[in-house]
Amino acid sequence: MTKTAMRVTLVTETYPPEINGVAITLGRAVEALQARGHEVTLIRPRQAGESPNPGLMPALPLFFYRQVRLGYATPITLQRWLRDWGSEIVHIATEGPLGLAALIAARRLHIPVVTSFHTNFDQYAAHYGLSLLGHGARIYLRAFHNAGKLTLVPSQGTLDRLRMQGFQQLRRWGRGVDTVRFHPQWRDDTLRESLGLGPEGRLLLYVGRLAPEKNLTPLITAFRTLRRNGLTAVLVLVGDGPLRPGFSRLSQEGILCVGMQQGMDLARWYASADLFCFPSCSETFGNVVLEAEASGLPILAYDCPGVNEQVSDAVHGLLLPPGSDWAPMLQLLSKDSGLRQKFGAAGRLRAESQSWMHSFDVLEAAYREQLGSKPAPP
C-alpha cells in the first residue's frame, strides 16, 4: 500500500546555491522528499539577484559575520502562508528570527514542528569576542528547540551534549556522502603541477569556512614548521569567510586561498590532495571530513565531537588531543606515504557505507511520526 504524500514546509536561513554543510544537506533532503512524492515548500531569505517571491523573505547580514544573512518575517505573515498552503508539518532548520516567527506561527495553527540542530552558535560567540552572549544563546537555543515536537541532530556527540544541557526529544539524523562525485579517480596531476608540486611534493587541503570558530591557527603554525624543515608542500584553503583577506596574503608562504569550490572542481581538489587537515573543534558533524574520506584522503584532526565519529584514530587518520601541537603528526603523515595510503583506503571504505538514502529514511520517518501524533485542533 502506497504511503500518503505529505505537505512539508521547510524554514531555513541557508539553502543552495549557498555552499555550506547545512545548505547542501537541506537541498539534498528536499530533492529526496520530492522524489518520494511529497510536496515541499521553502520559506527562506531572498538571496542576491533573486526576484521577490511569496516564500522568499527579506534578510539582513549578521553584524559580526556579514556572510551570514538572517531572514525576517512576522508570525502573522507566516501563519497566513502556512494556512493558505495547507502545510501539514513544519521543519525549522535554523534558529534565527525567521525560524522563531515560523515556530510561533506553526504553534498557533497546531501544526507539528520538527527542528534540526546544525550549528553550535552558543560556542561561536567566544570566537568573536562575545563570550557573554554564549550563555544567553544556549538558553535561547534550548527553549527554541524544546518548543518543537522533535529535534534532529547530526551526531551522537552533539545529541549527548544537548541532552546534558536540557534539550528534550532528541533524535540522531546522520548524513551521507556522494561516493561517485567524491572519489580518488578525480586526482588531477595537472592541478598539482600548477602549484609547483612534483611527485615528492605534498598538497595539504582544508575545506570549510575561513572563520575564527574553525580554529585554523594550529594548522597554519604547523604548516610553517613543515616548510622550515625542508619539505616541499602547499596548503590549500577552500572556502570563504571573514579570515580570507588575511590568509590571501600568505601565498608567498605556500598557503593558497582558492575560494568557494563546488561540483567537480571541489572533487578534484579533494582527490588531488595528499592529506586532509581539519583543526575545527566546533563541529556538529563534519560533512567535509566524510567527503575527504570518500576521496581517499587520510585525515588529521582534533579528537572532538562530530569529527571523531567520522574518524577512528590510527584507522582513517590521526586524532590529536584538543589544544596539542599539530607539527609532529603533520610531519609524520607528510613523510610516510604508506601510512597515508593505509588511512586513505580505510576512509574510502568507510565512506562507501555512508548512504544518503538512510539519512532521508530517518527524516521521512520523523515527519510521519509527528503527523501520526498530531492532536485534533480545538
Report yes or no on 377 lying in a domain. Answer: no
- Do 205 and 270 sit in the same domain of this protein? yes
- Do 328 and 252 sit in the same domain of this protein? yes
Report yes or no on 299 lying in a domain. Answer: yes
- Do 52 and 135 sit in the same domain of this protein? yes
- Do 82 and 24 sit in the same domain of this protein? yes
Higher per-residue confidence, 90 vs 137 = 90
CATH number, domain with residue 193? 3.40.50.2000
Q: How confident is the model at residue 198 (pLDDT cuts 50, 70, 90)?
A: confident
- Do 153 and 279 sit in the same domain of this protein? no
- Do 361 and 333 sit in the same domain of this protein? no
Report yes or no on 19 lying in a domain. Answer: yes
3-state secondary structure (DSSP) of residue 69: strand
Q: Please return the burial class of 85, using the count of CB atoms within 10 Å of its CB with bins 0-12, 13-18 and 19+.
A: middle
Report yes or no on 219 lying in a domain. Answer: yes
In this predicted model, what pLDDT tens digit does every residue of 277-322 receive, in sequence order? Answer: 999 998 889 899 999 999 999 999 999 988 999 999 999 999 999 9
Answer yes or no: are the C-beta atoms of 91 and 11 closer than 8 Å. yes
What cell does 10 get? 521547510
Q: What is the pLDDT, as a whole number, of residue 18?
A: 85
What cell does 13 get? 536561513
Amino acid identity, position 27: G
Mean pLDDT value of segment 39-59: 85
In this predicted model, what pLDDT tens digit does every residue of 136-178 receive, in sequence order? Answer: 788 899 999 999 999 999 999 999 999 999 999 999 999 999 9
Listed residue (232, 239, 228, 230) closest to 277, CA to CA: 239
Answer yes or no: are the C-beta atoms of 333 and 301 closer than 8 Å. no
Q: What is the pLDDT, as a whole number, of residue 378?
A: 47
| DSSP state for residue 166 in the 8-state scheme | T
Number of C-beta neighbours around residue 7 at 10 A: 15
| DSSP state for residue 47 in the 8-state scheme | P
- Do 167 and 196 sit in the same domain of this protein? no
- Do 216 and 286 sit in the same domain of this protein? yes
In this predicted model, what pLDDT tens digit does every residue of 330-350 receive, in sequence order? Answer: 999 999 999 999 999 999 999
- Do 288 and 361 sit in the same domain of this protein? no
- Do 143 and 279 sit in the same domain of this protein? no
What cell does 310 get? 567520522
Report yes or no on 330 lying in a domain. Answer: yes
Domain limits at 362?
A: 7-176+355-372
pLDDT at residue 55 is higher than 90: no
Report yes or no on 1 lying in a domain. Answer: no
Looking at the structure of the chain, the number of domains it has is: 2
In this predicted model, what pLDDT tens digit does every residue of 25-35 receive, in sequence order? Answer: 999 999 999 99
pLDDT at residue 106 is higher than 60: yes
Q: What is the pLDDT, as a whole number, of residue 8?
A: 97
- Do 212 and 152 sit in the same domain of this protein? no
How large is the C-alpha radius of gyration of the chain?
Answer: 22
- Do 199 and 164 sit in the same domain of this protein? no
